[in-house]
Structure 1
């Protein structure tokens, strides 16, 4: 298992405290990841602590935060470069904390829907192998419903880790804990453990 201690920051946040218990992040204003679609702009200013890993991995993390402002977001990211990445987690949209993901291969898409749980305490899991990414979310770290299954560009190496953004403000405090990064789980698609 690879530690967050080995991670490298893309756009370090104004405050980040890494300890054996996890990672505390406080976001900066105008931080975001997005490429072109609908809005017409590109932003690559979000906070991301990336741990390098080869293909065939599963990463998961628990995150706790109070989402209060439009587009407040926190979760996991897998990244090859500025044109190929996916981010997923909780994002505040239209006054509601939603479970969402943005897949970017040259341009960004956005898939989102209501989260049926406490959005202030959520677990995220990403499994990637052989060009297929499986995204899951959990309310308790034990039951893992599917959120998204999608193709993702193949690469010998990826960066994966916690991500947080606040396009409309500064000061979202996110606590990431229970980080793990290891070999792909290789579970059946309908195995929700």
Structure 2
């Protein structure tokens, strides 16, 4: 099994689904290229639309609270192309914080919490192809944030995934309707600490 290491990450990353291509930059950035028809989504209508084939580089965080953040730059080309921070417990229990290309051709912050079925929520439109995103664990709960400058953070979602005993977190690229999508995760930071205030901007 292919593993990769990034200086800011406390442990090796392993692939869930192989990418078309990936590279690590001299600044410890990670570039992931997803192929065609790649996604993570379980339709809440109960249809046959179930996908979990997007390439993701994930690792097991140390026990306790944490914050994982990155600047996410997406080479948008087709609807639902996205760069994602992923929280993964198992194939029917996971969360995506996405920087995604909407059907209206606008980059947007989107969150998907999946507990058997996916709960999909669009948030805010972003001007440009880059944004900062962060996932945080606070005890048995999680929080998702985005930032335009990497300093002031806006809350997207606060929720629980229930019991998570084998949590993996990391980076995912997807191209559900396109031929491919390349995402660059840069300025990656991991902190083993608790987020003190969900809504303060910290």
Aligned to 1:179: 188
Q: Provide structure 1 residue ranges, at least 5 long, that are not aligned to the other structure.
A: none
- Structure 1 residue 173 displacement after superposition: 1.6
**Is the contact made by 1:28 and 1:166 (CA closer than 8 Å) also made in structure 2?**
yes
Aligned residues: 192
**Is the contact made by 2:55 and 2:172 (CA closer than 8 Å) also made in structure 1?**
yes
Aligned to 2:15: 9
Output one character per residue of 1:40-93: Cα deviation in whole Å (capped at 9) or x when no partner: 121110111101113422111111123221111112000011011000121112
- State TM-score, norm by structure 1: 0.91
**Is the contact made by 2:154 and 2:201 (CA closer than 8 Å) also made in structure 1?**
yes
Of residues 24, 28, 32 in structure 1, which corresponds to 2:35? Answer: 28
Map 1:43-192 → 2, pairs under 5 A: 43-53=51-61, 54-94=63-103, 95-115=105-125, 117-192=126-201
Q: Provide structure 2 residue ranges, at least 5 long, that are not aligned to the other structure.
A: 1-6
- Structure 1 residue 4 displacement after superposition: 7.7
Q: Structure 1's 119 and 104: CA in aligned 2 closer, same or farther, altered over 3 A? A: farther
- Structure 1 residue 188 displacement after superposition: 1.3
Task: Give the root-mean-square deviation of aligned CA atoms.
Answer: 1.8
**Is the contact made by 2:32 and 2:184 (CA closer than 8 Å) also made in structure 1?**
yes
Output one character per residue of 1:110-133: Cα deviation in whole Å (capped at 9) or x when no partner: 000332x33411111011132211
Moved segments of 4+, more than 4 Å: none
Distance in 1 between residues matched to 2:11 and 2:183, nearest whole Å: 17
- Structure 1 residue 190 displacement after superposition: 2.3
